[in-house]
A and B are shown apart, each in its own frame.
Chain A
């Protein structure tokens, strides 16, 4: 009954005309961002963050959230039509989606992708509605040691799932923590790592940092190589999948939905991991695995459902625990804080309009996306034809103006450009940026939790292991650290044995 009343309240908030408009723009921009290779939801949210300062916090978060789950819809279009993933979470869709398009079945591929995304996205929001308050209730029992341990787990999971070396991911996380300390220490009032530089007195801003790491760095990397796109010229017809398509896809959609949702909740999981995991599972359990890679519709339906479900699921730890499970959520956490909100178990009671308004807006947003994606495909195809030499100056301009408008300060623009160089170099030297961003966002809270815990225990570190929830989180963190080392050693000893044999 309580949940029902809260959902009704959420509808009251989300159906306000201004919020409907922001939701529409959010999902539209998200779809556009998803369609365009070279621009991801992280960069888009970072670029548009300054433009939300004039809006109310509810409208701002509704729009920014719409960009994230909207991008999951849009990413499939370019994967299927051009064989270039619009988003990292649509990489696997290229494998079978493009093959379907080559066989004249682009329509059903796009159609099943949109419908699967809608079903999964709606499920994720319903589950968020039910699980969110439950988790928030549990989290109310957390103290500083639990929050500290949970944040450590969050950072460890992201490093564990890093695409490159885990040692390098741990290093970037450490750098992110250090960057989070720049500025004034709220407890002692001392300035840290500012070196009398004016622009650093307020700390290294999250917005210019992520704009640099994801926006500028992405453009610089894309400038290295010429991206050639061959868009399919065959007519796209029959967007509605037939009964056979549904029969072959429905279980993939259901499995992808559940898998994606649970992977979305786990810190470090998210849409990318979910889509890869779904593809692997569908191929493994399929009665005709040889069809995968040649246009199996389940290879499109499963991953596309999983990435949308994960996008919805990833809002749970953010809104209820205040822990962003991935880099995009980390930026959204920053956005919430910039708007004066503190995500966590008290968000539901202190800002119910934000909590329930955002959740309900996702129902509405998913409906809008289904309408946007199918009939507007010819428009997205036109957008794909925009050459990159026109696109990247626009992205750069957006970054420059966006970072300037944070505080009408050239210093923020310079910080963004410096992080653009840092982000580009990190990519060349194979260091992942997401752990740095997560650590930067969590750094302040993590330090505060650590210091409060030590004050509570009068300097006794056993407070972290004497409390069961905190101990549980720390065991998970240690396992995440040890498992790759053990796996690596086993691989090396197997290789050594093979060489001797």
Chain B
């Protein structure tokens, strides 16, 4: 865990420094009347100290020659990245394109391209799931999902 701890320790230390500065800027107030930044100032200092401890432990471990380990396995990391990209694109285009088209596209992508299932199966499942999801969320639960360019259909 040495390399992982070094990376995470540096990250959290930087985060703590940023929060400390911002909390100070918000105002610490007085002990009689603590300001909006009071609790977060001390919390971020505490976080910074903990991050330093994690960092120091990791560096000591490096010096004593710990075995190298990889944080992310190579297997399936690409799959995870592509799934994440598809989810972000879903979120970005959901309102402009509409719930039905983006959901259809998401399932076609996940089943057809990520899981590499047969196209007939992919198309069938995508259509069925999109239809059921629309019926459950829009018709039954009245979630007011975005219609996008299908707005003119008024259903």
- A residues near B (Cβ < 8 Å) are 50-51, 54, 167-168, 170-171, 174-175, 177-178, 181, 185, 187-188, 190, 192-193, 216, 219-220, 223-225, 389-390, 392-394, 396-397, 400-401, 404-405, 408, 410, 413-414, 417, 420-421, 424, 428-431, 446-447, 450-451, 454-455, 458-461
Contacts and interface: CB of A to CB of B under 8 A. Distances in A.
B129 A174 contact: no
B37 A192 contact: yes
Contacts of B133: 397, 401
A400 B91 CA distance: 8
Interface-centre pick from A50, A170, A171 (highest chain B CB count, 10 A): A171
A174 B78 CA distance: 32
B115 A389 contact: yes
A174 B20 CA distance: 12
Interface of B: 1, 4-5, 7-8, 12, 15, 19, 22, 26-27, 30-40, 43-44, 46-47, 50-51, 53-54, 71-73, 75-77, 79-80, 83-84, 87-88, 90-92, 94-95, 99, 103, 106-107, 110-111, 115, 117, 125, 129, 133, 137, 141-146
B1 to A, nearest CB: 6
Contacts of A424: 80
B91 A223 contact: no
B8 A417 contact: no
Contacts of B88: 414, 417
Contact of B84 (A167, A193, A220, A461): A220
A103 B89 CA distance: 50
Contacts of B46: 170, 174
Given A171-B54, A431-B8, A454-B32, A410 B91 contact: yes
Nearest to A216: B87
A220 B73 CA distance: 13
Contacts of B54: 167-168, 171
Question: Nearest 8 A-B pairs (CB), nearest first?
Answer: A459-B31, A185-B36, A174-B47, A413-B91, A459-B32, A405-B143, A389-B115, A429-B8
Contacts of A400: 87, 90-91, 94
A396 B90 CA distance: 11
A314 to B, nearest CB: 26
A178 B44 CA distance: 8
A497 B84 CA distance: 50
Contacts of A397: 103, 106-107, 129, 133
25 contacts: A171-B47, A178-B19, A178-B44, A188-B36, A190-B36, A192-B22, A219-B83, A220-B84, A393-B129, A400-B87, A401-B145, A404-B94, A404-B143, A405-B141, A410-B91, A417-B88, A424-B80, A428-B4, A428-B72, A429-B8, A430-B4, A431-B8, A455-B33, A459-B30, A460-B31
Contacts, number: 156
Contacts of B51: 171
Given A220-B83, A404-B94, A410-B92, A167 B36 contact: no
B5 to A, nearest CB: 8
A167 B53 contact: yes
Contacts of A394: 129
Given A171-B54, A188-B36, A397-B103, A224 B73 contact: yes
Contacts of B33: 451, 454-455, 459
Contact of A177 (B5, B34, B40): B40
Contacts of A414: 88, 91
A417 B47 contact: no
Contacts of A451: 33-34, 38-39
A15 B111 CA distance: 43
Given A171-B50, A188-B35, A223-B83, A178 B40 contact: yes
Contact of A393 (B5, B32, B110): B110
Contacts of A408: 144, 146
Given A400-B87, A410-B95, A54 B142 contact: yes
B84 A174 contact: no
Given A50-B143, A389-B111, A428-B72, A178 B91 contact: no
A417 B91 contact: yes
B141 A54 contact: yes
Contacts of B53: 167
Contact of B80 (A168, A223, A450): A223
A462 to B, nearest CB: 12
A393 B108 CA distance: 10
A178 B43 contact: yes
Contacts of B103: 397
A410 B90 CA distance: 10
A447 to B, nearest CB: 5
B32 A187 contact: no
Nearest to B86: A396
B36 A192 contact: yes
A224 B78 CA distance: 10
Given A167-B50, A397-B129, A190 B32 contact: no
A428 B36 contact: no
A22 to B, nearest CB: 13
Given A220-B84, A389-B115, A404-B145, A410 B32 contact: no
Nearest to B12: A171
A72 B54 CA distance: 35
B40 A454 contact: no
A399 B22 CA distance: 32
